[in-house]
Structure 1
Amino acid sequence: MYKYGRKKLGLKELTAIGIGGMIGGGIFAVLGLSIKIAGPLAPIAFSIAGLIAFLTAYSYAKFSYYHPCMGGTIEYIAMGIEKEKLVGYLSTLLWVSYIVMLSLYSFAFGSYGAALLGFKEGTLSYTFIQHVLITAILLTFMFINLLGAEIMGKIEDFLVYIKVAILLFFTVIGLLHSDPELIFKQPWPPLHYIIAGGMIIFLAYEGFELISNAGLDADNKKDLYWAFFLSVSIVVAIYVLIAYVSVTTLPVNEIVKYKDYALAVIAEPLLGKIGFVLIGIAALYSTASAINATIYGAGRIAYLIFKHGELKEPLRKKAWNQPKEGVLMTSLAAVVLANTYSLANISLMGSLGFLLVFLAVNYSAHKLADKIGASKSLTLAGTILTLVSAIILVYVALSMNFWSQLKALLTLMVPPAIIEIVWRKISRRKMKKPKEYGIYKVIEYIEQKL
């Protein structure tokens, strides 16, 4: 994994960070579920999600150009939101959302791994092997991170290009064999289901925000600024093409039947058994890479929250290069979540968590639009669309499976509130608010020590 301060990052490297963050496992895991909701109009659903990602990337780009930093998301939220407890809640929600993403990646790893071993979705043997692989991959990278090793991170840039190449190869072959009439031969869902289908896959667009954490290592601010738009544009194009190839290659009911590893199933009629294996292998190393990187990053967030009460004064006297407690808490929480919740639950939690975090970023950008040189119209559009999309996602999810999805919503929303209230009292933390950049300015100091 890239170490801050080793070299300056140009447009190519910054764009690779964004693409690598987005194409990490979400598309492999949730494609089938999105198609189940949006039906043959999945390409439109992906486009709607892409539009929201693009508008949010605009807010990030303006923040990063105005104030390059390592604090990233939470620092940008704190710049525009003055309520200390709300910022604390959002920082904890971000950590919980990364735990959900870990669960999603490991779920995808287990699903594709079980399928490659010859087990069929829906069978008892498939479920058993799936959960064995879920637990094994999370514990493996937990121990790797506890030992301080970053094996997957050393080849991260290489993996980004391989992932993109495989997916582009899949889309090119798929376009040559697609049947556009399939879109019109199947029933179309109502508009709010199309939007919900895009929002359930929104977690696959999560990752471009990682570019902001490299702000102090960018070669120049223009490269940092344009990397957001370039990375999101490339990924949106790839995802929309994948969705189009999917619904014009196989009927929706065939895709949904094996939704846990839908992309590999779609590849099989196009490329034969080798296509199934190729996509399966791509899914395995994509999710493995994402698991390693997410444990590393989320473990540091947890350490920041729990070990020192976020901004408690003693943090300046401590060593910040071994957040082992955070790695342990994050990994074990993901093991429990991935083994007890369904793919639909995990997908709802992941997408909603990041929609709410991005809502806060867009709101903050709108509030500070004049200061950071942003368009009030675009930041307002980003704020409204993330809010409306989150509401529609929750409504459709609850209408499809009320009690199960309500449990998922409570699991996402309640723990951050409890942690913020209880831990604030235990740690007795008192955050000092710098005049210029908000209460999380000190995050830069912490990150530099990491």
Structure 2
Amino acid sequence: MSNYRKNSLTLIGAIGLGTGVMISAGIFALLGQVAELAGIWFPLIFIVGGIVTGFSAYSYVKMSQQYPSAGGIGMFLVKAYGKGTITASAAMLMAISMVINQSLVARTFGTYTLQIFGVESSGWLVALLAVGLLIFAFIVNISGNEFIQTFTSVVSLLKIIGLLIFATGGLWVAGFTLEPAGTGGSAEERGIASIIAAVALTILSFKGFTTITNSGSEIKNPEKNVGRAIVASISISLFVYLVIAWAVSSNLPIDRIIEAKDYSLAEAARPAFGSYGVWFTVGLAIIATVSGIIASVFAVSRMLAMLTDMSLIPHRHFGMPGRIQKHTLVYTIVLAMVLAVLFDLSRIASVGAILYLVMDMIVHWGVWKHLKKETGANTLIVGTAFLLDAIVLGAFVYVKLTSDILIVLVSLVFLILTFSGEHWFLKKQNKQ
């Protein structure tokens, strides 16, 4: 992998990448959807999601310590399953879920930006702004690692400070009460399946830590710093999510949070700070989504390039000059654009959650079954991570089957096409 520059990312830079991805989709795009599934006590779901993610991250930390790589999860899967259909398919599911996340963040950018002008979130305007952001992310990503890590680190710090200011102000206006603002008079009781399903979306909001694993060989002292960066990113994001969720819950009835779920953070600023608070929140959303897109594109393009180098996925140059990583960057941006145009925020997030949880379970099984000795992983922790994923995925699929079966069908199509397509491609490769 001579195209990747070792030691070009510092520990702070890696944390910036992780939090850059997480604190964008997580709090701006998913907060309202989590509230819709979990009800008035939805802030607690972020704690549960953080705990589940902590168990999940253990497998990635142990593998990163043993196999630091710019291909991250792709290389981990090769070590666990070899260069076969399971490895290629699971790696592609990870890549697809990351691209889905990019389209989610891009549409969030469009939705919040329109709040400045008091314009209704019409589909074509949101899609147009989303595509513009993705083009900008492409331009930044061809500028080099040093610029990317500096940009994402500075922006991540700014948005974290800004969000904490928002949360502190919101809680101060509400008298720092832990009681939610109320139901608004028509909220329905949530069942246990719906509450567990909400955890799936919070897990999606934490999945940005995998961005760090995909830059493993480029991080200084990766055997130690990858794990440190993952733990730090999850911890910082959990704290920010929790205080923001409580601030929103304290200022806005659950019905209003659900009604404005695509821009609930901006709506929550209105009773606490008025129109200036809305503008401030929208500004934070724009900063957060821009940094999130850049960090995510940075990671997934490298992962796809490594899979291409290992002949695990098909690749065509289509006449483009330059190295493979630049080509995968183009593919990543184009697919994210298509998804951002075709799907709304809720469905993008739901499909992404399903694909990510399936991939995550494959990773845990690989560590438990094949790599526990090599990595020194604790089988009880890895087994618990697998079981928690299965419970959350089962509840989420059940809820979507009863409320929006299209999400399940689209996810199933993605899974079938990915596994069957990779099986056909690898079979063809072996015959050559």
Q: Same fold (TM over 0.5)?
A: yes
Task: Please list, as runs of the form range in 1=range in 2, the aligned pairs for 1:23-422 lying within 5 A after superposition.
Answer: 23-82=23-82, 84-121=84-121, 126-142=122-138, 148-149=142-143, 154-178=150-174, 179-182=177-180, 188-216=189-217, 217-219=219-221, 221-305=223-307, 309-310=311-312, 321-367=323-369, 368-402=371-405, 404-422=406-424
Aligned partner letter, 1:381: T
Residue 24 of structure 1 deviates from its aligned partner by 3.1
2:426 corresponding residue in structure 1:
424
Residue 421 of structure 1 deviates from its aligned partner by 3.2
Equivalent-residue separation in structure 2 for 1:197 and 1:391 (angstroms): 12
Aligned partner letter, 1:379: V
Equivalent-residue separation in structure 2 for 1:224 and 1:297 (angstroms): 14
1:435 corresponding residue in structure 2:
none
Would the alpha carbon gap of residues 69 and 127 (structure 1) be closer, same or farther in structure 2, given more than 3 Å must change? closer
Equivalent-residue separation in structure 2 for 1:55 and 1:201 (angstroms): 14
Tell me the alpha carbon deviations over residues 44-94 of structure 1, each in whole angstroms, 9 at most, x when there is no partner.
221221111111112222222233333311222232235711111111112
Contact 2:70 2:303 in 1 (8 A): no
Equivalent-residue separation in structure 2 for 1:61 and 1:329 (angstroms): 28
Tell me the alpha carbon deviations over residues 152-199 of structure 1, each in whole angstroms, 9 at most, x when there is no partner.
654111011011111111222222233444367665412221111121
- CA RMSD of the aligned region, Å? 3.0
Aligned partner letter, 1:278: F
Residue 282 of structure 1 deviates from its aligned partner by 1.5
Question: Normalising by structure 2, what TM-score?
Answer: 0.86
Aligned partner letter, 1:369: K
Would the alpha carbon gap of residues 184 and 366 (structure 1) be closer, same or farther in structure 2, given more than 3 Å must change? farther
Aligned partner letter, 1:405: I
Contact 1:80 1:364 in 2 (8 A): yes
Tell me the alpha carbon deviations over residues 224-254 of structure 1, each in whole angstroms, 9 at most, x when there is no partner.
3333222212211221222222222211111
Would the alpha carbon gap of residues 58 and 389 (structure 1) be closer, same or farther in structure 2, given more than 3 Å must change? same
Contact 2:355 2:411 in 1 (8 A): no
Residue 263 of structure 1 deviates from its aligned partner by 1.0
Would the alpha carbon gap of residues 70 and 301 (structure 1) be closer, same or farther in structure 2, given more than 3 Å must change? closer
Contact 1:153 1:289 in 2 (8 A): no
Equivalent-residue separation in structure 2 for 1:411 and 1:142 (angstroms): 28
Contact 1:41 1:188 in 2 (8 A): no
Equivalent-residue separation in structure 2 for 1:180 and 1:291 (angstroms): 33
Would the alpha carbon gap of residues 308 and 220 (structure 1) be closer, same or farther in structure 2, given more than 3 Å must change? closer
Question: Normalising by structure 1, what TM-score?
Answer: 0.83
Tell me the alpha carbon deviations over residues 363-384 of structure 1, each in whole angstroms, 9 at most, x when there is no partner.
2232333332222111110011
Residue 31 of structure 1 deviates from its aligned partner by 1.1
Secondary structure of 2:381's aligned partner = helix
Aligned partner letter, 1:259: K
Secondary structure of 2:40's aligned partner = helix
Equivalent-residue separation in structure 1 for 2:135 and 2:222 (angstroms): 39
Secondary structure of 1:93's aligned partner = helix
Tell me the alpha carbon deviations over residues 94-149 of structure 1, each in whole angstroms, 9 at most, x when there is no partner.
2211221121011101111112221134xxxx33322221232224444665xx33
Aligned partner letter, 1:327: L
Contact 1:27 1:201 in 2 (8 A): no
Contact 1:100 1:337 in 2 (8 A): yes
Equivalent-residue separation in structure 2 for 1:355 and 1:173 (angstroms): 35
Would the alpha carbon gap of residues 63 and 143 (structure 1) be closer, same or farther in structure 2, given more than 3 Å must change? closer
Contact 1:105 1:291 in 2 (8 A): yes
Secondary structure of 1:201's aligned partner = helix
Unpaired runs of 5+ residues, structure 1, are 432-450
How many residues were matched structurally?
Answer: 417
Equivalent-residue separation in structure 2 for 1:62 and 1:352 (angstroms): 24
Tell me the alpha carbon deviations over residues 263-290 of structure 1, each in whole angstroms, 9 at most, x when there is no partner.
1111222222222111211111221222
Contact 1:15 1:228 in 2 (8 A): yes
- What percentage of aligned pairs have identical amino acids? 24
Equivalent-residue separation in structure 2 for 1:379 and 1:36 (angstroms): 30
Would the alpha carbon gap of residues 189 and 398 (structure 1) be closer, same or farther in structure 2, given more than 3 Å must change? same
Unpaired runs of 5+ residues, structure 2, are none
Equivalent-residue separation in structure 1 for 2:212 and 2:42 (angstroms): 28
Contact 2:85 2:426 in 1 (8 A): no
Equivalent-residue separation in structure 1 for 2:308 and 2:198 (angstroms): 35
Q: Which moved more, 1:410-419 or 1:247-256?
A: 410-419
